[in-house]
Chains A and B, each alone.
Chain A
């Protein structure tokens, strides 16, 4: 399945290689010994205060393409977006990438992308209208398309009327946003609700996927049933690697991020995970798993 949905996305700013999520415990070691990875991702909210934090980010921007991932805008929450917060995210995007002006030079290859996680709300027409309006407002504020990430979920509402891939597909159609496909989230949510992860991958609009996330998860026994918890606190699980291979076979090489946000290990451990992802990306490229093919 391929839909013409990603047309408003400027050329991929982040290379189709493996990057890592850079978190505070690694700022200093990464500055002193830049890790051999293709790109970095940071959480926008950690740099909105400017000052010393922004100078750290500027340092990394000199050496790497940097993707900004927003974690503080509740796109799926009814009511107005926090406009002051949105304004600060827009300021950060401008400050951290001053050459980044796709409306003026659409052929430029800006070393930054903006993404944010989709809501944890019922999947209804009402919620879709809310999310689409918020994505539109965010894109207007930033002056470009954003990537919206599929969430990990632990519950489903009985009055949901739309499947999650269809919800995201319609969001892409209405707003022109792209998608950030978190393969671990697909695996976690599928397990928690008894869905088919492979079917989810097949239903996502391939042309809209501009970034992939990989992370570890844990499991919890709840009254004899297994619940998967998206805690980003361990290495990527084998079944998630397998799902990632399936995603690459369909999508072609896509910029891929290793995330690790709790029980954060030595930077070298993240780099090793990125090397594993990078090997799979190279294989996909050799095989010609290109989405345009």
Chain B
């Protein structure tokens, strides 16, 4: 019998590989082979993590089609299993992984699209004070924004992109969470700054607006 820590390490390993696991010897068959029962957890984990990646990288998924994305996601999950409990924070390193993923080499912009989507995800999920609302500056008439105390939001992220992502993100469906981002990506971008905003999306500032 394995002690609990060893058993749970073996379970975690069994989820990430297809190899035979010592757990099969201590799981009740009860009509269904132990290995098939373990396989259910394996499938569930891959589906859950894959869905989390899909939610964070919807444009990458659209660019390569869902089956290819699932294939890439599973390869990433096995190489980089989550180390923290928040699914929404899973995916750091996915862009670099895509950049080195041999089957995706024919799409050189894919890693940059993933980099942008990860930056958007970080910007949307980091805590920060409420952004100044439209009209707030009216109370400030006469002084103007030039004298206002402006600080970068904690979620502010800059994403340096080597290649244009315009065509890459043009296929985003209207009304999606990242619609605003897709609309505002111009063709000659070099560096984007992203700040979290509202329930309906985030703002992506091209370099010119951030000089």
Contacts and interface: CB of A to CB of B under 8 A. Distances in A.
A121 B37 CA distance: 14
Interface string B176-189: 01000000000000
Interface stretch (A77-85, A104-112, A169-177, A196-204): A77-85
Contact of B124 (A51, A223, A262): A51
Determine the interface band of chain A, counting residues with CB < 8 A from chain B. Answer: 35 or more
* Chain B at the A interface: SS class: mixed
B196 interface: yes
Nearest to A77: B8
Contacts of B88: 45-46, 49
Nearest to A193: B30
A33 interface: no
Interface stretch (A12-20, A154-162, A206-214, A275-283): A154-162
B85 A82 contact: yes
B198 interface: yes
Contacts of A54: 127
A45 B86 contact: yes
A120 B27 CA distance: 13
A52 B197 contact: yes
B31 interface: yes
B128 A51 contact: yes
A64 interface: no
Nearest to A157: B26
A124 B2 CA distance: 12
A72 interface: yes
B199 A130 contact: no
A133 to B, nearest CB: 12
Contacts of B13: none
A127 B3 CA distance: 9
A27 B198 CA distance: 12
A94 interface: no
Contacts of B196: 51-52
A74 B85 CA distance: 8
A229 B43 CA distance: 11
A72 B124 contact: no
A157 B4 contact: no
B199 A27 contact: yes
A126 interface: yes
5 contacts: A24-B55, A49-B125, A53-B125, A124-B4, A193-B30
Given A45-B88, A225-B31, 12 more contacts: A28-B200, A45-B86, A46-B88, A48-B86, A49-B126, A53-B125, A55-B130, A77-B8, A78-B5, A121-B7, A194-B30, A227-B37
Pairs of residues from A and B, 7 with the lowest C-beta to C-beta distance, nearest first: A50-B127, A72-B85, A49-B125, A155-B37, A78-B5, A154-B40, A78-B4
